[in-house]
Chains A and B, each alone.
Chain A
Amino acid sequence: MMGINRRDFLTALGVAGGGSALAFGPQVGLKVFQTLWGEDWVEVPTGLETRINSICQQCPGGCGITVRLVGDRAVKIDGNPFYPINRGGLCPKGQSGLQSLYDPDRIRGPLKRVGERGAGKWESISWDDAIKTVITKLQEIREKKETHTIAIMAGETRGLMQALLERFLLAFGSPNYIRVSDDLAAGPLDAFYLMQGLKEGLVYDLEQANYILSFGCDLLQSFWSPVQVLRAFGYIRRERGSRARVIQIEPRQSITATKADEWIPINPGTEGALALGIAHLMIREGLHDENFIWNNAFGFEDWIDDSRISHQGFKGLVLKEYSPGIVSSITGVPVDVIIRLAREFATTKPAVAIGLRGDVPSQMAVHALNALVGSIDSPGGVLVARDIPVPELPPIEPDEISQKGAQMPHIAQPAKEKYLLADYLPHTFLERASTGEPYKLEALFLYQTNPIFSSFNPEGVAGALDKIPFIVSFSSFMDESSQQADLILPDHTYLERWQDDPVYNLKGYPIIGLRRPVVSPLYDTRHTGDVIIQLARGLGGSLAQAFPGKDFPETLQYYFQKLFEQGRGDLVGQEFEEAWSKLLARGGWRSPSYQTAEEFWQRLQEKGGWWEPIYYYGEGERVFKTPSQRFEFYSQILKERVGVLAEERLKAIGVQVRGDKLFLPHWEAVKPPESNEEQYPFILNIYQPLVFAGLINASQPFLQGITSPAPLERWDCWIEINPELAKKLGISYGDQVWVESPRGKLSFRAKLVEGAMPEVVNIPLGVGHKALGRWAKNIGKNPLLIVEGHLEPLTGRPLINTTRVKIYRA
């Protein structure tokens, strides 16, 4: 930038005019001159300084952000102090968001594949041509009356965008919406379903808990909404009257374990057994909450059903099978520790037990502890988030072809007898896509997901994608899966687009954030919502009518108009306002901070979101949707699903336990049949560090720069092993080491840490991309490539940490 003078610089610095340049003269003045002397002519942003509130999307956490702009440039992201998810705080990913916006390797406009698939040869095309191409393809499919052969695979998508994608499919005539979610970040959702009858809304009221017993859930690193947990952590440690105790049970000394009051190393995969041992002691010592169990639980005591058959209850099973001695030998946790944990957990109320979405019986074992201490639907325990209002869109009137198509079986729905608890599974989808059974897919749309990287089996995924003749990616970045696409219709980044963000907080309140563009799109990208609407309009007929607005922003306004009409909640506000609206709501009052829909829309943009800060306890039908309308230790849902299955079927799906025990929390070793402990003596334990949880941020150099405190370990991937073990194997710090599973081997740098159990090999997940730009491509390795990917027998979901490995120097 030539012709700049000192005064321009000072103006840009915001210090010209007043006397302050003098007041702090030496520093500021010289800093400015220094730039002038230096060889770097740096274009300093100029213009008015403003702030815009929006919502982060570096992960699904849903934090409110305030972006600082100088002129038309975004120069800093901070937390929105008003926003109830994060109250001004942000995690490192939220902080590095501008590196996503200004990523030099972004896709800058629509691309059409020219070379072979995956060869990376692209040609720019215009949006008109791109959209025409898709419309022509979809028309062909429709003419053949095969509308069901299109599918949309979407990552952590919610709210209006998900509604529009599903609506598009429905109106076009396909059942195939496939949501890919991150299991490592979710809580024990299957237990929540089996014991409380609910598929979503599981929250832990951490801020009011006094005792947090985490069974392997790396709360401070890979929870689905990180800042909420981090904020709650600070709060329960020092901000409120009493200091909560946090106990972390897991095979690796994670950050959570480091920051907890106590880390309890445990044999991998035996967390469920420990939970049952704790339950055993609580029941034996009469420390369980009889009141809760009497009033709200089913299947605790032995019971007799309508046909006079008697059944075992939780109590009987646990007392019989999980004495501390047995549990100690399974878990490796000393008996006295188990006794202490049981007593502390039972007496330090409110207490809450948090698990992972691992094998179903273990999930149930951990979740049962919450019922034992009466921490279900009570302060400091497990809450069921209140419904986020879903503003209605006008009804769809699909024609006959579409109706027929939409009624076809879901492409990703596994055979019922195969996995009893699965609606649809991404990997089933891939198998189906490659075999062409029950039908062949003609077109696939990828939205905010990168299945090639996040799968255990990238070649498998690539192979499956290869069988689909037409693939469209909406990604803003050239990721592994987009490389296999035929057409890329790049979306804006989250800092350039309108979007709603429905989410709930740990107190169970519904919140809807408003994501709005903080800068105009830098490149020739387009909101995927707009593209979907344009496709629908181009296809015409009932499809066009399915979308109320001419583009996404208009639809969004329509949506918020409907929300306004529902007459619920208020704009997000500070904590004292929260207390105030609660008080009002108790008296049946509501005094929103806006009168008209226009005012609502206007102020929504200023504040950043809407919420309804109230939780009602004791709404039995809302928190227990089980057949008994109680908390079910004995899962009747599971019993009904298993119901008619014949013995050989159970065997085929790998369920060993029989009888009542199958429907109760219990523990069975998740042992892959082919596991060979002699040949592969160690267990592979993969964990997700905060910066890469969700697997989308590896392209941001500030995040690559903090993966480890040790510079030599960054920009790479490592294994963490116990120093004693390393000595035995002749491995020193920094050596390259082969990690070999029955599936294959990869080499990693060795890191010796005392916080590693001698029989466990820990590897972080998140690097090892083969695409995604200069800071991600060919950096580190992806441990998923050696994971065996055993499937949970009931849900069919891959279990990430059951692989056995051997290690040796490379």
Chain B
Amino acid sequence: MVRWGMVIDLDKCTACQACVVACQVENNVPPADPTIDAQYRAIHWLRLLEYREGEYPHVRTRLIPRPCMHCDKPPCVKVCPVGATNIGSEGIVDQIYGRCIGCRYCTTACPYTVKYMNWYRPRWPEEMKKAFNPDVTIRPKGVVEKCTFCSHRLIKARERVRAEARELGPGDYIPACVETCPSNAMYFGDLENPNGTVFQLARSHRAFKLLEDLGTEPKVIYLSEGE
């Protein structure tokens, strides 16, 4: 069985945030504005985290792109009273907007704070609606949304390979963030395929996961900086 996962090599990452914007464009995330942002209600399925350690001049800053971890043991799924948050057979943690009642248990349960409540009705100027990605729905006010590993791309990739009468191969399905990464710091693929890049990278001595101790078993794996 396929298990989709992502590897982010922090040694190659330049913190440019192209992934952040690519995600918003791909997934029809409405642009924030000063008010929404100041209320901490802006939506970023993928965002950059900043950690600073030490004191001048021995300062270490870590900049970490953070998508949904697509945990194998997702705490958000456990707390959802209506089965809106679920985990698919290939490991993608998804949000079924139609079931979501906006209770926000999951936003609280997620230790990585990847879940975003739509506090407002999403709004775009009329002109910008032209850029909507038809593959991704618009979320109404009152539901929670999150990174899906661009699962709509998986659906399309399956369609395509079926039409071409072949199996899904590496590179057929890549989320928007990985596709744009200018320094090739992000990798995506099947964590179970021993010949694949992510399988091998996930076993690197530099590999670590965020808040691993919590037992969430994330499928986003980071590679640490330095030699």
Contact = CB atoms under 8 A, between A and B. Distances in A.
B216 interface: no
B180 A13 contact: no
B79 interface: no
A433 to B, nearest CB: 36
Interface stretch (A378-386, A462-470, A702-710): A702-710
B182 A91 contact: yes
Among A101, A103, A706, chain B packs the most CB atoms within 10 A around the CB of A706
B54 A714 contact: no
A234 interface: yes
Contact of A102 (B32, B49, B128): B128
Chain A: number of interface residues, binned into ranges: 35 or more
Contacts of A12: 134
Contacts of A243: 227
B52 interface: yes
Given A99-B128, A756-B56, A90 B47 contact: no
B50 interface: yes
A37 B141 CA distance: 11
B131 A42 contact: no
Interface in A215-241: 220, 226-227, 230-231, 233-235, 237-239
B190 interface: no
B31 A99 contact: yes
A94 B18 contact: yes
B137 A31 contact: yes
A226 B18 CA distance: 11
A709 B155 CA distance: 32
Given A89-B181, A702-B25, A722-B56, A259 B137 contact: no
B203 interface: no
A119 interface: no
Given A104-B125, A712-B38, A20 B12 contact: no
Interface stretch (A75-83, A276-284, A448-456, A739-747): A75-83
Contacts of A15: 155-156, 159
A234 B47 contact: no
B15 A95 contact: no
A106 B20 CA distance: 25
B132 interface: yes
Interface in A1-22: 12-15, 18, 20
B113 interface: no
Interface residues of B, number: 81
A753 B52 contact: yes
B109 to A, nearest CB: 21
Contacts of B217: none
B18 A715 contact: no
Contacts, number: 256
B159 A102 contact: no
Nearest to A18: B159
A711 B134 contact: no
B117 interface: no
A807 B130 CA distance: 46
Interface in A766-801: 775, 779
B15 A220 contact: yes
B149 to A, nearest CB: 12
Contacts of B181: 89
Given A15-B155, A234-B185, A238-B9, A705 B32 contact: yes
Interface in B19-70: 20-22, 24-26, 31-34, 37-38, 40, 42, 44, 47-50, 52, 54-57, 59, 61, 63
A267 to B, nearest CB: 12
B155 A31 contact: no
B21 A92 contact: yes
A703 B21 CA distance: 8
Nearest to B154: A24
A40 to B, nearest CB: 6
A5 B94 CA distance: 25
Given A15-B155, A39-B140, A711-B42, A754 B131 contact: no
Given A24-B155, A27-B151, A89-B180, A237 B12 contact: yes
21 contacts: A14-B135, A15-B155, A30-B96, A39-B140, A75-B131, A98-B25, A102-B127, A227-B182, A235-B184, A237-B9, A255-B63, A265-B57, A702-B25, A705-B37, A705-B44, A709-B49, A722-B56, A754-B59, A755-B52, A756-B56, A775-B31
Interface of A: 12-15, 18, 20, 23-24, 26-28, 30-35, 37-40, 42-46, 70, 73-79, 86, 88-92, 94-96, 98-99, 101-104, 106, 220, 226-227, 230-231, 233-235, 237-239, 243, 253, 255, 258-259, 261, 263, 265, 522, 690-691, 701-706, 709-712, 714-716, 722-724, 753-758, 775, 779
